[in-house]
Structure 1
């Protein structure tokens, strides 16, 4: 049985994805999560449909929208999203299809690089405005305490991790910004594999961690 997803993408991220305004790394994050989460996929379909409806209406210059047009469009969307196409994922794979396309296959195709304490990463090829990487965190291992200069999104693909306030399992997304300072710890029952994307370097304390940050390009 699939783990129930409790932590979803924000509306701002979903709208940015629908509008095509996100960096490539964040588009990969959204597409991968949508392959696992029916709720967010339905919401994304709604934003796509809304954008198409508004674009269609904007073809006529200087035509004002009626006060009920937004509500009517949303009602049409609600009527049309009941039967979504199934998400594509190879049987037994921990990587949804969008991520398989970047890796070139499944877990055995990942070219891991050690970054210390048993933790490994694989940086994925994306545009420079944001970075995407796979992280392998051994069961029970704590990542260094850190803050954020921008936005970091972490999607669990295998296992789970816990930070100060929440527990994140397969399919869950943690969205962190400059307000969050935390120490993620992998659940003791299984190694944790995540997709993480960032649009700015993380904030680490201490010389050793700062040196490691430069080496790991985090």
Structure 2
């Protein structure tokens, strides 16, 4: 597995500082479980942050996003083996890595999907934060997501299969970081459904009037 699309510096620094909302933290932690290069970058960011903390008086946080995530994992039976925060490690099979697997209560083949129409489906993932919406998306092989832009930020992490977006290809472990400046039509590549973890902080802005009409029903 060769990962070509990585976490931005601002996400890594915010994650190291514990200042991300739980939904963003889940996406970052899941990517880190698959990406050795970003784990090395995180270790560097945490090292720099540690040096800064030693020189600065800091009030203890009462409820960081990481602690909220750890509590969620701990409450999900059976309890997984905990991985050190700075160096999550991917499992050897092509399933869902931790911490995502504990959030959804199983692996890909055991999950119950909700249809979005035209073969696409989703699973909503509950978190404790009110900032983000988190979901798993299954895009049928060879099919596009309807053209859309964004009202905020969207992180899309590929867990299985792949999708093309313009000239870029996103495969397992790759993460796409989109904002309001991007209008696109991601398309799953032929041969295998694409399963992604998607995190947003605002509804998508679809071009199709029909999709916009049913958007409240679909919850996307």
Q: Please give the range of the TM-score, normalised by the shorter of the 2 chains.
A: 0.7 to 0.9
Paired with 2:92 and 2:39, the residues of 1 have a C-alpha distance of 20
Superposed, which structure 2 residues align to 1:1-218 within 5 Å? 2=1, 4-59=2-57, 87-126=88-127, 127-218=129-220
Unaligned runs of 5+ in 1: 61-84
Unaligned runs of 5+ in 2: 59-85
Superposed CA RMSD in Å reads 1.8
Per-residue CA shift, 1:74-113, capped at 9, x if unaligned?
A: xxxxxxxxxxx87434442421111111011211332210
Report SS of the residue matched to 2:96: coil
Paired with 1:99 and 1:88, the residues of 2 have a C-alpha distance of 12
103-112 or 146-155, larger mean C-alpha shift? 103-112
| TM-score, normalised by the number of residues in structure 1 | 0.84
CA contact (8 A) 2:39 2:87 kept: no
Paired with 1:7 and 1:152, the residues of 2 have a C-alpha distance of 14
Paired with 1:155 and 1:95, the residues of 2 have a C-alpha distance of 11
Q: CA deviation at 1:59?
A: 4.1
Q: CA deviation at 1:212?
A: 2.6
Structure 1 stretches (4+) deviating beyond 4 angstroms? none
| TM-score, normalised by the number of residues in structure 2 | 0.83
Q: Which residue of 1 aligns with 2:66?
A: none
CA contact (8 A) 1:103 1:109 kept: no
Q: CA deviation at 1:40?
A: 0.6
Paired with 1:21 and 1:29, the residues of 2 have a C-alpha distance of 14
Per-residue CA shift, 1:151-210, capped at 9, x if unaligned?
A: 001000111000123111111111100111000100002111000000111111232111
